[in-house]
């Protein structure tokens, strides 16, 4: 069973007979379980509308889960193993996101105008 990822949205057959049509959306993943599906996806690949996904390219969906010990406490990362993060199940930590700056913008202070008294 081959897996494909749609790159360009295109209409294509939705059944073996070709009597139904479906719009294949961009970033949609298709499991070609039957011969007609594989033939359709090969046509998509030849035209640049889809790419075949290799097993190593498939990423797990969802957020990484923190690893816990038997008592339910979080497990810390072992710094001696830089390629594996023991603090998360599966050994991969979530991707870091850019933090918003909390510094306020500074504005030029306007000098106070001094008024002279008339004598």
Q: What's the mean per-residue pLDDT of the chain?
A: 80
Residue 103 counted as domain residue: no
Parent domain of 28:
2-56
pLDDT at 55 over 80: no
pLDDT at 74 over 90: no
User: pTM, whole model, 2 decimals?
Assistant: 0.48
Number of domains in the chain: 1
Residue 17 counted as domain residue: yes
Q: In this predicted structure, what is the pLDDT of residue 118?
A: 64
Question: DSSP 3-state assignment of 52?
Answer: strand
Chain centre distance of CA 96: 12
Q: CB neighbours of 7 closer than 8 A, spacing ≥ 6?
A: 26, 48, 49, 50, 51
What are 79-108's pLDDT values in tens digits?
898 888 888 877 777 777 777 766 666 555
């Amino acid at each position: 069973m081959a897996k494909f990822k749609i790159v360009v949205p295109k209409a294509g057959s939705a059944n073996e007979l070709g009597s139904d049509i479906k719009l294949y959306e961009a970033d949609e993943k298709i499991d070609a379980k039957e011969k007609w599906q594989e033939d359709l996806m090969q046509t998509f690949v030849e035209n640049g509308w889809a790419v075949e996904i290799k097993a190593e390219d498939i990423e797990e969906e969802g957020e990484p889960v923190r690893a816990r010990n038997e008592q339910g406490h979080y497990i810390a990362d072992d710094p001696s193993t830089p390629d594996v993060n023991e603090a998360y199940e599966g050994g991969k930590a979530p991707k870091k996101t850019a933090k918003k700056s909390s510094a306020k913008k500074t504005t030029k202070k306007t000098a106070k105008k001094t008024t002279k008294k008339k004598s």
